Structure 1
Amino acid sequence: MSGSGPRGPVAVAVVGAGVISTQYLGNLASFPDVEVVAVADLDTARAKATADEYGIPVSGDVDTVLALPEVELVVNLTVPAAHATVARAALRAGKHVYGEKPLALDPVEGGKLLAEAAALGLRVGNAPDTFLGAGVQSAIRAIESGAIGAPVAATTAVLNFGPERWHPNPEFLFQYGAGPLFDLGPYYLTALVALLGPATRVAASARQGRAERVIGSGPRAGTRFDVEVPTHVTALIDFAAGATAATTFSFDSALPRMQFEVTGTEGTLELGDPNTFGGPLRVRGGSDEDWRDLPVTGTDAGRGIGVLEMARSLRADRPHRASGEMAQHVLDTMTAITASAADGEFRSVPSRCAVPEPLPSDWSPTDPTLG
């Protein structure tokens, strides 16, 4: 790797020791290019328990870990309402930051965050990183090879009964900044942007299936709570390159379902769930009697590969792929969908973003020489 800056693994501090942190920490511990040196949480006892479980030397509150001079990159796994606040604190402490989705609760806040990072010469990365997995990356390569001709349209849907049945503390997933659009939407919209390029305008409709939900698992099972956001959202999306998409996000379906297809002039590509990192991947051309499986190559290592790719990019002094600009564009798109559903009008998506270069097919999370 090039550059005259720091060498060796990138020192990482994780902020937020909730449910999702276990997936990140388990993976980050296996990546040779990063070293988790601290964990922070509002509940410092939970931070300590998490640090002890993974053999991480420092735990405490946010100020404690941001004060560590060795920390280069903060991984922000807090609830959506805290994303921008924690990210800003990390930047002002001189740290690069990689956050869970969404980038912020609204585009104005997200834009301010990116502007501050640029002024400080620091980087912002953001989930989801699932588009870096073998499934979507193989789909990108298939489209680039001409497997379906020119992309014309996409059809995507994710419908389930809602996370309150399995999540022990699900209230935040039904508050402003979440719901199925902001919770599940980033996986699908980021994959669409990676496949089809940036969006230009949207039209949408939304409703709320139930005004109250009941926690279904854990020590608070049976607790009722209010729903603040729409729980079924359908959107039409136009893309700058000419393709369109129809997509649905729902927490109101008794029958869980998932669909992700890209239709081209010569065939249709069927992807797996973009909330995962693998396949399957199938294609069917106009003269085919049935679907054909396509090879799925790349990594399915799981959440945290965006952090790893960002760390490698820092050391190599090159742009990282799960960028803040891409997350801002997805946030702009979701906000436009929300506004369109409220007023019944087409809404423009104000930002654009660069489409990241595909990962090499042999990119490896455990071998730094391969990527």
Structure 2
Amino acid sequence: MGRPVNVGVVGCGFIFGQYVRSIERLPELRLVAVADLDPERAKEAVRGYPEVEVLSVAELMADPRVDVVLNLTVPAAHAEITLQAVASGKDVYSEKPLAATTADAARVLRAAAEAGVRVGCAPDTVLGTGTQTARKAIDDGLIGRPVAATAIMLTPGHEGWHPNPDFYYAPGGGPLMDMGPYYITSLVTLLGPVTTVIGAASRTRARRTIATGPRRGEEIPVAVDTHVTGVLVHASGALSTLVMGFEGAATGAPPIEVHGERGSLSVPDPNHFDGSVLLARMGEEDWETLPAAAGHVGAGRGVGLADLVTTPAGRESRAGATLAYHVLDIMECLLSSAHSRTAVTVTSTCERPQPVTFRPAPR
């Protein structure tokens, strides 16, 4: 690469700061412009970055300096903004999910293919040492043939800490659409694509109360299922049990466990990049901690964007749109199964993403 790839960000909300800190550390990327529905929020977000220009969305899309658009809008706007970027001939990396529905996500894939641009999608947490060390342990045969996995996330809901949690309870939100991408992307990375799902879901409250910020005490409507559980049947034959909920005070269960014919792995929280991977060998009582052996050390949100812009032409990046579409399809099928009370076939598929070798932290 002759120069860093110029990044234009659309959406300067809660997650923006994490991406900016990563972009500062990644030599492949350079932030040049931002846009937001609220221009004052955009100006505040880049205070201290005089080289970054605040533009309108239309201006950012038309700016010839911008090589790749980082889409950090709310889920309901993901497809619209990504399609605008694709129509402008720019590569795009989007926050998860790829779109609010698979129908919109399919439009994104078609448009990107026709325009010859690349699209990637969060989460990129699976590129860190946590999930990648577990992936290497599986690939190295430390637990034998994987047979089953569990993935569990239970919290009280985001209204307890987020000042504007409305979109978490609107279509495209909920525990499955919000947190499911982390867990399901990790499961696909570890065990491969999914062919069938069986789901169940519930919604216990019609309204939630914001607990912090200027809107404290305000009630917001709940339009999505707030507890979703199900079984994912992987093409490999492994079965994953998924539990995603905004209805629990806490859980002591490991975020992810993978069980094989010769042992079990405890995999760290897929919402984080690192964490300890534990191995229990068949016939031994104690768990052992595996040293970090794969993945990006000290990674932050944005490493998937760097992976996108450095992936050779014609190859899918590790946090690519095909994987993101498959994860979204799995989630939609889970909800469809829960409402129809029948097993649902997942018609999409993807290649198991390429592993990440051990990568020291950027200086």
| TM more than 0.5 | yes
Which residue of 6, 16, 38 maps to 1:11? 6
Alignment partners' CA distance in 2, 1:118 and 1:366: 32
Shift of 1:319: 3.4
SS at match of 1:54: coil
1:174-217 Cα offsets, whole Å, 9 max, x none, are: 11001000000000000000010000010111001211100011
Give the partner amino acid of 1:192: L
Alignment partners' CA distance in 2, 1:64 and 1:58: 11
TM-score (norm 1): 0.94
* Structure 1: runs of 5 or more not aligned: 2-6
Alignment partner, residue 259 of structure 2: 263
Give the partner amino acid of 1:91: V
Alignment partners' CA distance in 1, 2:70 and 2:94: 6
**Quick check: 1:231–1:250 contact (8 Å CA) kept in 2?**
yes
**Quick check: 2:130–2:275 contact (8 Å CA) kept in 1?**
yes
More off after superposition, 44-53 vs 340-349: 44-53
Give the partner amino acid of 1:337: L
- 1:312 pairs with 2:307: no
Alignment partner, residue 281 of structure 1: 277
Alignment partner, residue 124 of structure 2: 129
SS at match of 2:326: helix
Give the partner amino acid of 2:120: G
Alignment partners' CA distance in 2, 1:234 and 1:154: 13
**Quick check: 2:298–2:361 contact (8 Å CA) kept in 1?**
no
**Quick check: 1:58–1:65 contact (8 Å CA) kept in 2?**
no
Give the partner amino acid of 1:309: D
Alignment partners' CA distance in 2, 1:56 and 1:223: 39
Alignment partners' CA distance in 2, 1:133 and 1:272: 11
**Quick check: 1:38–1:51 contact (8 Å CA) kept in 2?**
no
Alignment partners' CA distance in 2, 1:114 and 1:224: 37
Alignment partners' CA distance in 1, 2:79 and 2:48: 28
Which residue of 183, 186, 210 maps to 2:181? 186
Give the partner amino acid of 1:271: V
Alignment partners' CA distance in 1, 2:69 and 2:106: 19
TM-score (norm 2): 0.96
1:82-109 Cα offsets, whole Å, 9 max, x none, are: 0000000001111000000000111111
Alignment partners' CA distance in 1, 2:255 and 2:30: 37
SS at match of 1:321: coil
Query: Considering only aligned residues, what root-mean-square deviation do their CA atoms show, in Å?
Result: 1.3
- 1:111 pairs with 2:109: no
Shift of 1:300: 3.0
1:144-183 Cα offsets, whole Å, 9 max, x none, are: 1111000001011000100000000001001100100000
* Structure 2: runs of 5 or more not aligned: none
**Quick check: 1:48–1:60 contact (8 Å CA) kept in 2?**
no
Shift of 1:18: 0.2
Shift of 1:254: 1.6
Alignment partner, residue 60 of structure 1: 55
What is the percent sequence identity of the aligned residues? 44
Alignment partner, residue 342 of structure 1: 339
Give the partner amino acid of 1:208: R
1:267-309 Cα offsets, whole Å, 9 max, x none, are: 0000110110012100101111111111124323211110111
Alignment partners' CA distance in 1, 2:184 and 2:340: 22
Alignment partners' CA distance in 1, 2:48 and 2:191: 41
**Quick check: 1:308–1:365 contact (8 Å CA) kept in 2?**
no
SS at match of 2:259: strand
Alignment partner, residue 204 of structure 2: 209
Alignment partner, residue 153 of structure 2: 158
Alignment partners' CA distance in 2, 1:161 and 1:169: 16
